[in-house]
Amino acid sequence: MTDLHLWLRHEVRSTERRTPIVPSDARRLVESGVTLTVEESPQRIFPVEEYEAAGCRRAPAGSWVSAPEQAVVIGLKELPDQPGELTHRHIFFGHAYKRQPGAEALLRRFTAGGGALLDLEYLVDDSGRRLAAFGFWAGYLGAALAVLQHRGRLVAPLTPTSKEELDEILQPAAGDEEFTALVIGALGRSGRGARLAFLTAGIEATAWDLAETRDLDRRALLAHDVMVNAVLATSPVPPFLREQDLDDPARRLRTLCDVTVDVGSPLNVLPVYDRTTDWTEPVRPLRKEPPLDLIAIDNLPSLLPRESSTDFSAALLPQLLRFETGGPWGRCLDRFHQACRELGIAEGEFRHV
Ligand SMILES: NC(=O)c1ccc[n+]([C@@H]2O[C@H](COP(=O)([O-])OP(=O)(O)OC[C@H]3O[C@@H](n4cnc5c(N)ncnc54)[C@H](O)[C@@H]3O)[C@@H](O)[C@H]2O)c1
């Protein structure tokens, strides 16, 4: 038996249909003795009734603010702006440890209320590897959108879909011209997803990872028709593309999808654009003659909410079943305290020991 009470909250962003816990995993948690309250949410890909059938309690959207103090509130993306003081422990992607806009304000809300952020990005194993991530589906979608754009079949605005529907339009059709594709960061989660989407589209992509970019051959890069960047940059490296490469008369590259979207960061390996694209306008031309189209969307997995939620939840479940003070969750908590110290935020009384 455990006295863990998890509170799955409604996401405030109306386009966010994903969830960190799917109903089948909710059932596993309930069966292991976890109390799981699930908020009603009009856009979540799984209806609240499926959670109820799995033994969860039902609560109105946003009611986590008055959840019992020991409840651990879980979601994916940003919290609403109110309340100003956060008293609970919250599991979600806070994007608050790299001095992002709003980061300090969010951490101050936690310290003011005595709560804590257990950031999913920092839920790592002993060797620092992420335990639950959406990368695979980001890569899959990035490559799929690049293929559709290259074949003139990308329809905007983009809307959430299923893998089945996506795979159907990815199949090569009569009259489609053959083309070459390159995936950089090919051995990672996103890179593997990207390569699989290319295969579904009938293309075996060239796969580059650290070994192939150490001594970067930009000519070879520019000789591909389509490129997907899926690296996770941790230290600065020479850019994969510079402005002058886009004007290289030998460039075959026509479609570029940046899954990494480190735009504005000193670690950016594609400093050839300054704004992301989005579901409404997924493609921006970087050059007209010969053309070069950019796709740089920062919420790709939300386009396949069922598949990406199911995989994420499966990876998170073992960690939730072992929710304890040490181990990965202990590291998450340490990281939160460290981030507060780095920002010079005086920590008040932390309520949860
Ligand atoms: N656009 C989106 O919606 C979205 C969603 C999820 C993740 N992402 C981003 O995608 C990126 C990749 O995430 P992931 O989960 O696949 O990471 P990962 O750690 O699983 O894989 C990254 C890969 O990049 C490789 N790599 C790192 N530096 C490289 C270099 N200089 N040259 C070649 N290869 C290099 C690594 O060796 C590794 O194989 C991250 O930046 C992540 O934030 C974007």
Instruction: Please check if 299 is assigned to a binding site.
Output: yes
**What is residue 266's three-state secondary structure?**
coil
Q: Are residues 106 and 176 in the same domain?
A: no
Count of domains forming the chain = 2
Q: Are residues 254 and 318 in the same domain?
A: no
Residue 264 located in a structural domain: yes
Identify which of 51, 54, 30, 31 has the alpha carbon closest to the alpha carbon of residue 41: 51
Q: Are residues 289 and 168 in the same domain?
A: yes
255-258 and 206-208 beta bridge pairing: unpaired
Residue 272 located in a structural domain: yes
Q: Are residues 288 and 308 in the same domain?
A: no
pLDDT number for residue 93:
95
Residue 249 located in a structural domain: yes
Instruction: Give, rounded to a whole angstrom, the gap between the first and last alpha carbons of the chain.
Output: 19
**What is residue 229's three-state secondary structure?**
strand
Q: Are residues 108 and 170 in the same domain?
A: no
Q: Does residue 191 have its Cβ closer than 6 Å to ligand 1?
A: yes
pLDDT number for residue 154:
98
Ligand 1 pocket test, pick from 209, 232, 277 with the greatest ligand atom count within 8 Å of Cβ, gives: 232
Local confidence pLDDT in tens for the 353 residues of the chain: 579 999 999 999 888 999 999 999 999 999 999 999 999 999 999 999 999 999 999 999 999 999 999 999 999 999 999 999 999 999 999 988 877 778 899 999 999 999 999 999 999 999 999 999 999 999 999 999 999 999 999 999 999 999 999 999 999 999 899 999 999 999 999 999 999 999 999 999 999 999 999 999 999 999 999 999 999 988 889 999 999 999 999 999 999 999 999 888 888 999 999 999 999 999 999 999 999 999 999 899 999 999 999 999 999 999 999 998 789 999 999 999 999 998 888 766 666 65
Beta bridge partners of 258: 229
Q: Are residues 103 and 162 in the same domain?
A: no
CATH of the domain at 222: 3.40.50.720
pLDDT number for residue 63:
98
* Distance in angstroms (rounded) separating the CA atoms of residues 171 and 203: 10
User: What is the 98 CA–ligand 1 centroid distance (Å)?
Assistant: 17
pLDDT number for residue 2:
74
Q: Are residues 292 and 144 in the same domain?
A: yes
Largest CA distance in the chain: 67
Residue 230 located in a structural domain: yes
Q: Are residues 144 and 275 in the same domain?
A: yes
User: What is the 263 CA–ligand 1 centroid distance (Å)?
Assistant: 14
Q: Are residues 319 and 208 in the same domain?
A: no
Residue 348 located in a structural domain: no
The Cβ of residue 288 has, within 10 Å, a number of other Cβ atoms equal to 7
Q: Are residues 65 and 149 in the same domain?
A: no
Which residue range forms the structural domain that includes residue 224?
135-302
Residue 86 located in a structural domain: yes
Residue 224 located in a structural domain: yes
Q: Are residues 25 and 159 in the same domain?
A: no
